[in-house]
Amino acid sequence: MTPVSIHLTVNGREHILASEPCRTLLSLLREDLGLTSVKEGCGQGDCGACVVILDGQAVNACLVFAAQAEGASILTVEGLAQDGALHPLQARFIERWAFQCGYCTPGMLMSCYALLQHNPDPDEEQIRDAIAGNLCRCTSYQGVVDAVQAAAADLRAGKPPAGAAP
């Protein structure tokens, strides 16, 4: 199949990439841009390991064709930390032990990020709804709920993020 040229902005940087049109956005982000936070789990929209923010919406990158991202702005976990400081969600996930193996964590973080973009003070049910598509085989999800509520409070208070970015 003839490659197509795809223009997109990822974590604030513009890229022009040549890609087979039928490749997934997941493949493009991982293999062409080296953004390995975007995990492949099921590859069919069931696990949430590949969630990224595309034009402000949380999407499963395994279900988006690379060509559909033409002109889009995408955020992945690699773009969350700013000026060497972790995003409050990242800092609170660490503080509240909101993960164990960490495989689901990037997708979980991006789903939570999307939630806080439109709901700065979510209750537990709203958080659990937001992460309903993110499967975790390790934790009870309670640490995630606690971390999101703590991060939401940080953001509402305008607190600087805690912890240095790796």
Binding to ligand FES by residue 144, rule CB under 6 A?
no
Q: What tokens appear for 115 in the block?
A: 């939630």
Provide the mask over 60-89, with x wherever binding to ligand FES is found by CB under 6 A and - wherever it is not: x-x---------------------------
Binding to ligand FES by residue 40, rule CB under 6 A?
yes
Rounded distance, CA 154 to CA 147, Å? 10
Binding to ligand FES by residue 48, rule CB under 6 A?
yes
Rounded distance, CA 112 to CA 118, Å? 10
Rounded distance, CA 136 to CA 71, Å? 32
**Closer residue to ligand FES in complex, CB, 13/25:** 25
Binding to ligand FES by residue 28, rule CB under 6 A?
no
Binding to ligand FES by residue 18, rule CB under 6 A?
no
Diameter of the chain measured on Cα atoms: 51
Helix axes 88-95, 105-118, angle to 10 degrees: 130
The residue within the footprint of ligand FES, chosen from 28, 50, 75, 151 (CB under 6 A), is 50
Binding to ligand FES by residue 99, rule CB under 6 A?
yes
Rounded distance, CA 37 to CA 14, Å? 19
The residue within the footprint of ligand FES, chosen from 18, 22, 101, 164 (CB under 6 A), is 101
